[in-house]
Amino acid sequence: MMKNVVDKFIRYAKIDTRSDEDSTTTPSTSKQRNLARLLVEELQAMGLSDAQVDENGYVMATLPSNIDREVPVVGFISHMDTAPDASGENVNPQFVENYDGSDIPLGNHAVLSPSDFPELLEYVGQTLITTDGTTLLGADDKAGIAEIMSAIEYLTNHPEIEHGTVKIGFTPDEEIGRGADKFDVKRFGADFAYTLDGGRIGELEYENFNAAGLTVNVFGRNVHPGTAKNQMINAITLGMEYDRTLPHDQRPEHTEGYEGFFHLMDFQGTVDSATLRYIIRDHDKVKFEQKKMLAKHTADYLNEKYGKEIIVVELADQYFNMKEKIEPVKYIVDIAEQAMVDAGVEPVKNPIRGGTDGSKLSFMGLPTPNIFAGGHNFHGIHEYVPVPSMEKAVEVIVNLVKNVTRLEK
């Protein structure tokens, strides 16, 4: 079981599956289907005869129950795409055996150092899988896929382990926020599920940000600078003023834990016009709504200050805190916590400072907390995953499947 998870991860990591936020198709890139087809083939080879990839690139399969009583149907989900803003082509994973706590040369003059990433020292003596310094690794979320596949393979090879019906799902386009958009919850047929996505060993998460996108459109007026007095309206400087007016301490670089933020992601402009794009995040629904209102009031304030409607904001909700949907069925967190304890893993229940497919799925009627997949430093050349973390994730999945058999439908 344990060797298989590494072999699978390396095989999947070498397949380029970057998504594309500018694409309007699903999946956003056809190359994600290459991994989808491989996973279907492997699932069918394990005996999951219904495994298939649908027209939108979603993979689903069923491990039938081997017991004669009815228990809840549990699902496990990971995403196939990797981040579009980092190279996922020609991924060449490197092994660091018996890590000794020193700097790790990655190649291409890159170094993975505990002086930059102190958590590396928690893995002294372990085998690490790193990048070669030129691409991301793809542990987010191919480690999760490998762990689910290894656990299912272990269960099929050990029919003496009692289990109910288990559903498997692999999604495209999670990295661009669309992973659950066309997920067919009814067809999936699970009572609840777990994503295995990123995250250091022990993470068990059922809270995430409420999220909105904010676009600030600034309309200026260009006049020759030699005769611009009292006539020019510089959209760039007005955009900067808008940003300065928002709370300085509510930026990502000044927040942690449950603290929310305004994050300026992009600023494009000329004197004539400028566009600022933000994401707004907060775990607390009331504070989230207050942040959205502040974004509107800031525009109103500047429009009144300059006596013209020169700033127009557009707000769009993106996803919500899944805690609202998980708390009524909190036992699904409890049995996951017990599965970790039984595997010798200390559960770490922190809020997700981001989003997850589980958020949208929970609001679509499929309560879906998140379990660690073991990776660190996602989306770049310093990404790595400790092998024992992946091995423990496999064990946790198997334990969870066992725990479900103690529940009543």
* DSSP H/E element including 390: helix 387-404
Catalytic, 395? Answer no
Which structure tokens are listed for 388?
Answer: 């024992």
**Catalytic residue selected from 42, 141, 153, 174:** 174
In the Cβ-directed half-sphere of 8, how many Cα atoms lie within 13 Å? 26
Q: Which of 284, 272, 288 is nearest to 214 (CA)?
A: 288
**Catalytic residue selected from 81, 140, 141, 191:** 81
**How many other C-beta atoms can be found within 10 angstroms of the C-beta atom of residue 333?**
20
**How many whole angstroms separate alpha carbon 382 and alpha carbon 106?**
8
Sequential DSSP letters for 155-197: HHH-TTS----EEEEEES-GGGT-TTTT--HHHH--SEEEEE-
Measured torsion, CA atoms of residues 71, 196, 34, 91, in degrees rounded to the nearest 10: -160
Task: Supply the DSSP symbol for 123.
Answer: G
Catalytic, 174? Answer yes
* DSSP H/E element including 146: helix 139-157
* DSSP H/E element including 151: helix 139-157
Q: Which of 173, 95, 83 is nearest to 127 (CA)?
A: 95
Residue type, 7: D
Sequential DSSP letters for 193-262: EEEE-S--TTBEE--B-EEEEEEEEEE-B---GGG-TTT-B-HHHHHHHHHHHS-TTSSGGG--TT--EE
**How many whole angstroms separate alpha carbon 143 and alpha carbon 196?**
8
Residue ranges of the alpha helices (H) in 255-355? 285-306, 323-326, 331-342
CB 165 within 8 A of CB 343: no
**How many other C-beta atoms can be found within 10 angstroms of the C-beta atom of residue 64?**
12
Q: Looking at the annotation, which residues are catalytic? A: 81, 174
